[in-house]
Structure 1
């Protein structure tokens, strides 16, 4: 009976240890991926909110950025048939700039791919684009 209880307790501890907290790199990657998915879905406001200090931007600058985001998506559609997939490759800490560099692949309908680097900063308990 003691062995059975010990075996069950061991299994519980083993499985409890499998539920680990994501690393800062993984959290930054997830945030960057979510922001870019918002951009490509046409939710330019959500993409803008993913930037550090976006809430303190002057209205005219904010409107300009939203227009630029929209133009980016339209341009990718015209030049490549649009983005059909996004995936993160890796994230690297840049201690010199005090940012997390997230590498994202944009996969286009014309079978081309572009790698972009998104600098991310930990802000307000989450990760934001610099």
Structure 2
């Protein structure tokens, strides 16, 4: 959890260093992509850390979430020769309710593509997957 917090903090600092204020939808899209990149690279724990959940969950529940992430990647490998690339295609933000949707384009090993919607919520200044 600390690892993901530090990475997101770094992203926030990088965005804040620019001369212009960044579009919140850009931040939501890039954050969702970071989470899915963790999934793509086999860092299932970091992917699970990106989910909106209480600060502390039972260990067995966390293990189930990690196992589900592994199974998802395994299923994509079986069905489409794996996920080869992830790109942000769009993102929308509701700044009043601190929610958003990131639209990621997954490119598979069999050359097919799929757009997935990743609902996001901002909690304690950090965007998480809902």
Aligned twin of 2:22? 22
1:123, CA displacement in angstroms?
Answer: 1.6
Name structure 1 gaps, 5 residues minimum: 1-17
Aligned twin of 2:57? 57
Residue 93 (1) aligns with residue 88 (2): no
Name structure 2 gaps, 5 residues minimum: 1-17
Aligned twin of 1:122? 122
- Deviation string 1:8-42 (CA, Å, 9 cap, x unpaired) is xxxxxxxxxx8312211011111100000001100
1:54, CA displacement in angstroms?
Answer: 5.1
Are the counterparts in 1 of residues 24 and 93 from structure 2 also a CA contact under 8 Å? no
Aligned twin of 1:37? 37
Distance 1:93 1:26 in 2: 9
Residue 84 (1) aligns with residue 73 (2): no
Aligned twin of 1:75? 75
- The runs of at least 4 aligned residues of structure 1 exceeding 3 Å deviation read none
Aligned twin of 2:46? 46
> SS state of the match for residue 55, structure 2?
helix
Are the counterparts in 2 of residues 81 and 108 from structure 1 also a CA contact under 8 Å? yes
- Deviation string 1:60-109 (CA, Å, 9 cap, x unpaired) is 111111000001111111111111110011112358x7620111111001
> SS state of the match for residue 52, structure 1?
coil
If the length of structure 1 is used for normalisation, what is the TM-score?
Answer: 0.79
Distance 1:86 1:123 in 2: 24
1:59, CA displacement in angstroms?
Answer: 1.4
If the length of structure 2 is used for normalisation, what is the TM-score?
Answer: 0.79
